[in-house]
Structure 1
Amino acid sequence: MKRFRIALYAVAGLLVFLLLVLVIFMAVFNWNLLKPTINEQVSETLGRPFAIEGNLDVHWARDHEAEGWRRWVPHPTASAESITLGNADWGKAPYFVRLERVELELSPLALLGKRIAIPRIQLTGPSAHIERLADGRANWTFEKLTTDTNDAEKEKAPSAWTLDIGTIGFDKGAVTVADEAQRVDVALNVTPLGKPIPYNEIVGGAVGKRNDEAAAPQDYAFAWDAKGRYRGQALSGEGKIGGLLALQDAAIPFPVQVDLRAGNTRAVVEGTLTDPRNLGALDLRLRLSGDSLGNLYPLTGVTLPDTGAYATDGRLRAELQNAEGPTFRYEGFNGRIGGSDIHGDLAFISGEPRAKLTGDLTSNQLLFADLAPLIGADSSEEKKARGVEDKQPSERVLPTEEFKTDRWRDMDADVRFTGKRIEHGETLPISDLSTHVVLENGVLSLQPLSLGVAGGRLDTQIRLDGQRSPLSGQVTLKARSFKLKQLFPTVETMQNSLGELNGDADIRGTGNSVAALLGTANGDLRLLMNDGTVSRSLMEIAGLNVGNYLVGRLFGDDEVQINCAVSDINFKDGLATPRVFVLDTENAVINIAGSVNLKTEGLDLDVVPRSKGLRIISLRSPLYVDGTFKNPSPGVHAGPLALRGAGLVVLGATVGPAAGLLALIAPSGGQADQCGPLLEQVKKAP
Structure 2
Amino acid sequence: MNSVTTAAHPRRARALRWAARLAVGVVLLVFGIWLILFVTKGRFLKPYFEKIATSRLHRQVRVAGDFNLYFAPFNVAFLADGLTIANVTWAPKSDFLDARHTALTVRTLPLLWGRHEISVADIDGARVTLQWDAAHLHNNWTFDDPNAPPAPFEMPVIARGTITDTHVSYTDPKLQLALKVDIHPLTATNSHIDQAVGFSGTGTLRAKPVSFSGHVDKADQMLHAGSSKLVLHADAADTVIDLSGTMPGISDITAGHYHLAVRGENMANLFDFIGVVVVPTRKYHLVAEVSRDDGTWNFTRIKGVFGDSDLTGVMGLAFPKDRLHLGADLHTQSLDLLDAAPFIGYDPKRLDALGTKGLVTNENGHPRILPDASLRADALRQFDADVRYRVGNISTRNVPVSQIDVTLNLDHGKMTLKPASAILASGKLDGSFALDVRGDTVMTDYDLRLHPTPMGKLLYRFGVEEAGTSGTLSGRLALHGVGNSVRESLAHSNGRMVAIIPRGTMWARNVQLVELDIGTFIQRMFQKKLKDPVEINCGLVGFTVRDGIANADPILIDTRKNVITGRGDFSFRDESVDVGIRAKGKTFSLFSLQSPIGIGGYMAAPHLKLVSPQLLERGGAAVALGVVATPVAALLAFIDPGNGQAAQCGPVLAGATAAAQRTVKGQPRKDLGPAKH
User: Which of the residues 459, 464, 467 maps onto 1:496?
Assistant: 467
Q: Residue 457 of structure 1 contacts residue 481 of structure 1 at CA under 8 Å; is this kept in 2? A: yes
1:188 counterpart letter in structure 2: V
- 1:202 alignment partner in structure 2: none
Q: Structure 1 regions of 5+ residues with no counterpart?
A: 62-73, 145-153, 197-215, 540-546, 642-647, 663-677
- 1:56 alignment partner in structure 2: 68
* 1:653-668 equivalences in 2 (<5 Å): 657-660=651-654
- 1:101 alignment partner in structure 2: 102
- 2:409 alignment partner in structure 1: 438
How far 1:119 sits from its partner (Å)? Answer: 4.8
How far 1:48 sits from its partner (Å)? Answer: 3.5
Equivalent position SS for 1:125:
strand
Residue range with higher mean Cα deviation, 82-91 or 613-622:
82-91
2:70 counterpart letter in structure 1: V
1:130 counterpart letter in structure 2: T
Q: Structure 2 regions of 5+ residues with no counterpart?
A: 1-8, 619-641, 670-677
User: Which of the residues 367, 379, 385 maps onto 1:407?
Assistant: 379
Equivalent position SS for 1:464:
strand
TM normalised by structure 1 equals 0.73
Residue range with higher mean Cα deviation, 4-13 or 331-340:
4-13
Is 2:195 the counterpart of 1:223? no
Alpha carbons of structure 1 residues 680 and 171: separation in structure 2 relative to 1, 3 Å: farther
- 1:167 alignment partner in structure 2: 157
1:566 counterpart letter in structure 2: G
Listed one character per residue, the Cα deviations across residues 35-94 of structure 1 (whole Å, up to 9, x for unaligned) are 344346546775536115135253435xxxxxxxxxxxx433333445344567985658
**Counterpart Cα distance in 2 of 1:269 and 1:374:** 28
TM normalised by structure 2 equals 0.74
Is 2:234 the counterpart of 1:234? no
Residue range with higher mean Cα deviation, 601-610 or 271-280:
271-280
Q: Residue 504 of structure 1 contacts residue 526 of structure 1 at CA under 8 Å; is this kept in 2? A: yes
Equivalent position SS for 2:321:
coil
How far 1:476 sits from its partner (Å)? Answer: 2.7
- 1:27 alignment partner in structure 2: 38
How far 1:436 sits from its partner (Å)? Answer: 0.9
How far 1:21 sits from its partner (Å)? Answer: 4.3
- 1:555 alignment partner in structure 2: 521
Is 2:160 the counterpart of 1:190? no
State how many pairs are aligned: 602
Listed one character per residue, the Cα deviations across residues 79-125 of structure 1 (whole Å, up to 9, x for unaligned) are 344534456798565884214232131425864x7x57545562422
Aligned-residue Cα RMSD (Å) equals: 4.7
Q: Percent identity?
A: 18
How far 1:28 sits from its partner (Å)? Answer: 2.3
How far 1:195 sits from its partner (Å)? Answer: 11
Listed one character per residue, the Cα deviations across residues 533-557 of structure 1 (whole Å, up to 9, x for unaligned) are 456x588xxxxxxx89978897244
Alpha carbons of structure 1 residues 170 and 289: separation in structure 2 relative to 1, 3 Å: farther
**Counterpart Cα distance in 2 of 1:34 and 1:358:** 56
2:330 counterpart letter in structure 1: L
Alpha carbons of structure 1 residues 221 and 192: separation in structure 2 relative to 1, 3 Å: farther
Listed one character per residue, the Cα deviations across residues 363-403 of structure 1 (whole Å, up to 9, x for unaligned) are 222223211111125688406469x9998745433333333
How far 1:277 sits from its partner (Å)? Answer: 6.1
Listed one character per residue, the Cα deviations across residues 194-251 of structure 1 (whole Å, up to 9, x for unaligned) are 999xxxxxxxxxxxxxxxxxxx99997311111233322121110113768978x7x5
Alpha carbons of structure 1 residues 553 and 193: separation in structure 2 relative to 1, 3 Å: farther
**Counterpart Cα distance in 1 of 2:205 and 2:319:** 20
* 1:270-285 equivalences in 2 (<5 Å): 270-274=244-248, 281-285=255-259
1:50 counterpart letter in structure 2: R
Alpha carbons of structure 1 residues 259 and 609: separation in structure 2 relative to 1, 3 Å: same
User: Which of the residues 571, 580, 595 maps onto 1:621?
Assistant: 595
Listed one character per residue, the Cα deviations across residues 407-466 of structure 1 (whole Å, up to 9, x for unaligned) are 221112111111123323x42311221111111222221112111121222112222222
Is 2:28 the counterpart of 1:38? no
Alpha carbons of structure 1 residues 600 and 79: separation in structure 2 relative to 1, 3 Å: closer
Task: Return the index of the structure with the highest Cα Rg.
Answer: 2
* 1:524-543 equivalences in 2 (<5 Å): 524-528=497-501, 530-534=504-508, 537=510
Is 2:392 the counterpart of 1:420? yes
Residue range with higher mean Cα deviation, 123-132 or 522-531:
123-132
2:204 counterpart letter in structure 1: R
Q: Residue 472 of structure 1 contacts residue 511 of structure 1 at CA under 8 Å; is this kept in 2? A: yes
